[in-house]
Structures are given as structure tokens and as C-alpha cells.
Amino acid sequence: MTHPFATPFSYCATTFAPDINSPTLEVFRMLKRKWQTSIKMMIHRAQDLSIVDREEARRLYVLYGRRGWNSAEPYDDDPVEEPRLLRRMFEMIIENSIIDRQQIAAALPFKTDEIEQLTNLPHGFLEDDSAYNWAINQLNSGFASSG
């Protein structure tokens, strides 16, 4: 359920800590949908932020295991939202010739396939015009058939 791109942004102490009015598994279960991250990771972060001490975290992990959540947490089967805004942003940058694919790839500290995966761009988009042209044609034909 957790999207790898979202996780680093999910744990800002000033926004995460106030959500935990009472550090129980039920509270973490309810927060899972909001924070889009695992309950176990939220317990870990709560300990990092001194919301719970080591002993309380250990107790939460024991209860977590007793509920069988080590193999599957609540909401794990919920569909993961696909990033649309970042994809569209990259497409518009290329369409409007603001910068080219190679400049995008060079400016970001990720491999091109990682950028494509994180932004939901078609495989090869940043390396090859043909993938981009195929995607644009798919979008245009979708709009033509739906209108």
C-alpha cells in the first residue's frame, strides 16, 4: 500500500506527531490510510519522535504480531494511487520544449527507470522519443473516442 516515493515525506515530526493523540494499534490502523504507510513503520517513527518509549514500542510490536499483521496489515489490499500530477508535469515540460528528456534525467539524482516508475511515466520515456509519442497518441486516441 505504501508508495516508495511518498514514504520520506510521510514522517515530518510537526505533522505526524499531532495525529497520534494516543499511541495504540487502533490509532495507527486508522492513520494508515491518511499516511499511506505501514503500521509497523508508524510505530517505529513514533519511537524515533519519542511519542512512545522503547518499552511501549516493544509492547505495540507484540500486539501487532498477535493480530497477525506481520503477514498482512489492514488495508494492504487497497489499491495504490497512481501518480498523475508528476507524470503530467513531465509530459508538459517535454511538450512545451522547456527542457528535454536528457536534461530531466541529468537534473535528478535517480536512474531514468526509477524516475519513470516514481512518476508513472511509460518505460523508456526519458530515453526515447518513441515511448513518449506512443503515450501521447494513446492519450489523444482516448480523448477522441470518449468525446
pLDDT tens readout for residues 18-60: 999 899 999 999 999 888 889 999 999 999 889 999 999 999 9
Residues 91 and 136 in one domain: yes
* DSSP 8-class letter at 28: H
Assign 134 a pLDDT band (cuts: 50, 70, 90).
low
C-alpha 13/C-alpha 7 separation (Å) is 13
Flag whether 61 is in a domain. yes
Flag whether 54 is in a domain. yes
Flag whether 15 is in a domain. yes
Flag whether 1 is in a domain. no
C-alpha 72/C-alpha 70 separation (Å) is 6
Flag whether 101 is in a domain. yes
Residues 138 and 89 in one domain: yes
Flag whether 132 is in a domain. yes
Q: Has this prediction a pTM greater than 0.75? A: no
What is the domain range of residue 139? 85-146
- The count of domains in the chain is 2
Residues 91 and 85: beta-carbon distance below 8 Å: no
Residues 23 and 54 in one domain: yes
